[in-house]
């Protein structure tokens, strides 16, 4: 293949898109008029967009729409689903507050916790025994753990609604 043909064929895409300067356009077309090989390439390049546009595809299956609607309906969050966890959260919060016997109980709990932390540090320094957790603290820990899990789940539901929720 002549060097000129290599150069011309490299410019064919730009020529088809009308992105070459006028004088270059004229020279390219003059070469195409004289060169059957490059002319064939030009015809091929010109026809390519039309051939791509004419490609056929099968019809979308009926199951496509059904599948889409099934999935999005499964993602809809009803009011019971959305506000149900709030009832559980309130219940757990009431249990926790009742268990610590109100504010006074909460204050005692904080004091006990601080004392345990001090004992733990002492144990680490080899100065005291490891404090044994009170059975009640384990129960309270369980209730607070459940409350946290429920609240996190509830927050994910609210986040999925996003601005729609407002």
C-alpha atoms less than 13 angstroms from C-alpha of 156 in its C-beta half-sphere: 6
The neighbour count for residue 11, using CB atoms within 10 Å, is 16
> Torsion angle, CA of 64/65/71/76, rounded to 10 degrees?
170
**Residue owning tokens 């899990």:** 149
Minimum CB separation of residue 3 from another protein in Å reads 18
CB 112 within 8 A of CB 134: yes
Nearer to another protein, 56 or 126 (CB): 56
Q: 56 near 48, Cβ under 8 Å?
A: no
Counting residues that bind another protein (by CB under 8 A) gives: 35
135 binds another protein (CB under 8 A): no
Cα–Cα distance between 54 and 44 in angstroms, integer? 15
What is Dmax (Cα atoms) for the chain? 102
Residue 131 phi, psi dihedral angles, 5° rounding: -70, 140
For residues 73 to 112, the per-residue mask of contacts with another protein, x marking binding by CB under 8 A and - elsewhere, is x-xx------------------------------------
Stretch 28-67: interaction string toward another protein, x if CB under 8 A: -------------x--xx--xx-xxxxxxxxxxx-xxx-x
Instruction: Candidates 84-92, 111-119, 124-132, 158-166: pick the segment binding another protein (CB under 8 A).
Output: 158-166
Residue 86 CB, nearest distance to another protein (Å)?
A: 21
Closest approach, Cβ 58 to another protein, in A, equals 5
Q: Does 23 bind another protein (CB under 8 A)?
A: no
Specify whether the CB–CB gap between 128 and 97 falls below 8 A.
Answer: no
- Confirm or reject binding of residue 6 to another protein (CB under 8 A): no
Residues binding another protein (CB under 8 A): 12-14, 17, 19, 41, 44-45, 48-49, 51-61, 63-65, 67-69, 71-73, 75-76, 162-164
């Amino acid at each position: 293949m002549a060097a000129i043909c290599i150069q011309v064929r490299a410019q064919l895409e730009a020529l088809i898109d009308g992105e070459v300067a006028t004088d270059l356009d004229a020279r390219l077309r003059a070469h195409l008029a004289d060169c059957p090989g490059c002319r064939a390439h030009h015809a091929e390049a010109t026809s390519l967009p039309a051939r791509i546009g004419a490609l056929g595809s099968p019809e979308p299956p009926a199951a496509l729409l059904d599948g889409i609607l099934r999935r999005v309906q499964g993602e809809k969050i009803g009011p019971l689903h959305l506000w149900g966890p709030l009832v559980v959260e309130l219940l757990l919060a009431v249990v926790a507050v009742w268990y610590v016997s109100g504010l006074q109980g909460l204050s005692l709990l904080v004091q006990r916790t601080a004392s345990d932390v001090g004992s733990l540090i002492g144990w680490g320094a080899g100065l005291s025994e490891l404090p044994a957790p009170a059975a009640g603290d384990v129960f309270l820990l369980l209730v607070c753990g459940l409350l946290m899990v429920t609240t996190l789940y509830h927050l994910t539901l609210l986040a999925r609604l996003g601005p729609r929720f407002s």
